[in-house]
Amino acid sequence: MKTLRFILGDQLSRELASLRDIDAGTDVVLMAEVMDEATYVRHHKKKIAFVFSAMRHFATELQDRGYQVDYRRLDDRQYGKSLRATLVQAVKRHRPDRVVVTEPGEWRLLTDMRDWQSACGRPVEIRDDDRFLCARKQFNDWFDAQKQPRMEYFYRQMRRQTGYLMVADKPAGGRWNFDTENRNPLKDNVELPAIKQFRPDAITADVLTLVDERFADHFGELTPFRFAVTRSQALAVLRHFIANALPRFGDYQDAMLQDERFLFHSILSLYLNIGLLTPREVCDRVENAYQSGHVPLNCAEGFIRQIIGWREYVRGIYFHEMPDYADNNYFSAQGKLPVFYWTGETDMNCLHQVISQTRDEAYAHHIQRLMITGNFAMLAGVAPGEIHDWYLRVYADAYEWVELPNTLGMSQFADGGLLGSKPYAAGGNYINKMSNYCQHCRYKVSAKSGPDACPFNYLYWDFLIRNRDQLEHNRRLAFPYKHLARMSEERIAQIHRDSRRFLQSL
């Protein structure tokens, strides 16, 4: 039986379900650079280059292993603009008996894929994506059985299931979570590890030329390009991170530092989300580093939690709640995204730093996304769909299954508390504590009102006042609402005046 195996651009794993029983003698692997996928949102130039280069390298690896690969480049004279059109053309060329695919990570593609059989006239088998540690059915069963399906409880189940950092049936160190030890600010004199980077080879150079020509008007800088684009390079990044950055990752995972873009972060989400690394092998190596004494427990636990806890949890939420989840807007926010999210041109230094970094690197770490760009958008009343679209466009590791719940649920509280127990809202004091951005800012973080005050300060209170009906009974916000109740009418009026003046100036 001749099988056409269609591999998507974020499925670059040799152990992929749709490749598992491949017959090198008869089967054909189909891969394609598709304009619709590069432009359904206008992705960062670096993301497009990363995905196309990794795809071309993966296709070459498969060919070197003896597999027949039909690879359609974006600049081929005849190609399908969509995945569906590409498949229909390939079926006409190869005349397979069936088509095998692995389920995609985005709802819009899954919906389209379910109709591919009628479009191409061949049976289409959609296999579960078992690169994840928690199957979708397993998550749905767990979620539906919970009164409070919080990530922390899911994470504990995943620890028990995988055995990571467990001693018999107890967590190593007697605690499930060392988050309180992972919130240290970073001083200027702490030595930072260099990131692992790679010089573009001939394949990547060709892709960079293509992207520069075809996507010149997309957001972001294309060079310098230093991402890993092969599995061997991604494994080198993993080894480098564990050896040089993981031993202090936990301590400083929430920290931010002026003009320092990577700190002790792994940058591994790019390679996990595209398939060059698997969550199991990453967690195995991190646990081995802890067991050998190279990495302290709080660092190993903080990192493993991000993968088997948060990453698996948000994927479960995404597929459990879609398609309606994308329409959530708990605060009925209708504001437009400020133009400076595209230019970085703002006097707020924290936002300038993070947006400029995003433009240059297609990367920012989780606290920069959550507590700077996300926090500001929520406080300013930006419509959740606007900031969701921005995150999906600008980050090289952004795919909707992971980005949408993180944005609508974690960052914007647009789902009303399904994913998180409270909004991640904060004034300037938090940013000042966790970074040195405020030291280099035109605004004064110590000032609470007036044109020189940090806008986060009055926007925070304006947000709580504006959404009092939805939030004042949240137990985790009891303290700020008690403080708000003691404010004078003049103070509240000043908050409104400052907020209105600032937002109108954007």
Condensed to tens digits (0 to 9), the pLDDT of residues 9-61 reads: 999 999 999 999 999 999 999 999 999 999 999 999 999 999 999 999 999 99
Instruction: Look at residue 214 in the predicted model and tell me its pLDDT.
Output: 96
153 and 302 fall within a common domain: yes
Number of domains in the chain: 3
Residue-averaged pLDDT of the chain = 96
Nearest to 399 by CA among 126, 127, 71, 50: 50
Instruction: Look at residue 293 in the predicted model and tell me its pLDDT.
Output: 97
Structural domain includes residue 223: no
118 and 158 fall within a common domain: no
Q: Which CATH number characterizes residue 293's domain? A: 1.25.40.80
Instruction: Look at residue 25 in the predicted model and tell me its pLDDT.
Output: 95
Which residues, including other chains, have CB under 8 Å from residue 501's CB and lie 6 or more apart? 451
pLDDT tens-digit map of 261-276: 999 999 999 999 999 9
Compute the distance between CA of residue 457 and CA of residue 357 in angstroms, rounded to an integer.
24
Q: What is the pTM of this model?
A: 0.96
Instruction: Look at residue 80 in the predicted model and tell me its pLDDT.
Output: 77
Amino acid at residue number 242? I
Which residues, including other chains, have CB under 8 Å from residue 23's CB and lie 6 or more apart? 3
Instruction: Look at residue 189 in the predicted model and tell me its pLDDT.
Output: 82
DSSP of 310-348, one letter per residue? IIHHHHHHHHHHTTGGGG--TT---BPPPTHHHH---S-
pLDDT surpassing 80 at residue 332: yes
- Domain C-terminal end among 294, 321, 348: 321
**Kind plus residue range of the DSSP H or E element containing 70:** strand 68-72
pLDDT band at 1 (very low <50, low <70, confident <90, very high): confident
What stretches of 95-186 show up as alpha helix (H) in DSSP? Answer: 107-113, 116-120, 136-144, 151-162
Q: Can you tell me whether residue 12 is helix, strand or coil? A: coil
Q: Which CATH number characterizes residue 362's domain? A: 1.10.579.10
pLDDT band at 370 (very low <50, low <70, confident <90, very high): very high
pLDDT tens-digit map of 109-125: 999 999 999 999 999 99
pLDDT tens-digit map of 475-496: 999 999 999 999 999 999 999 9
Average pLDDT over residues 126-146: 96
Instruction: Look at residue 76 in the predicted model and tell me its pLDDT.
Output: 84
Structural domain includes residue 237: no
Do 361 and 329 touch, CB atoms closer than 8 A?
A: no
Compute the distance between CA of residue 409 and CA of residue 384 in angstroms, rounded to an integer.
10
Q: 5-21 as b/e, with b when 16 or more CB fall inside 10 Å?
A: bbbbbbbbbeebbbbee
Residue 180: how many CB atoms within 10 A of its CB? 8
pLDDT surpassing 90 at residue 183: no
Structural domain includes residue 460: yes
168 and 27 fall within a common domain: no
Through-space distance between the first and last CA atoms of the chain, rounded to whole angstroms: 61
Domain boundaries, position 111: 3-127
80 and 33 fall within a common domain: yes
Structural domain includes residue 364: yes
- Domain C-terminal end among 127, 151, 172: 127
Average pLDDT over residues 445-467: 97
pLDDT surpassing 80 at residue 188: no
284 and 158 fall within a common domain: yes
pLDDT tens-digit map of 137-160: 999 999 999 988 999 999 999 999
122 and 143 fall within a common domain: no
Structural domain includes residue 210: no
352 and 310 fall within a common domain: no
pLDDT tens-digit map of 61-87: 999 999 999 999 998 877 778 999 999
90 and 120 fall within a common domain: yes
Average pLDDT over residues 279-300: 97
Which residue do the tokens 């926090």 mark? 375
Structural domain includes residue 232: no
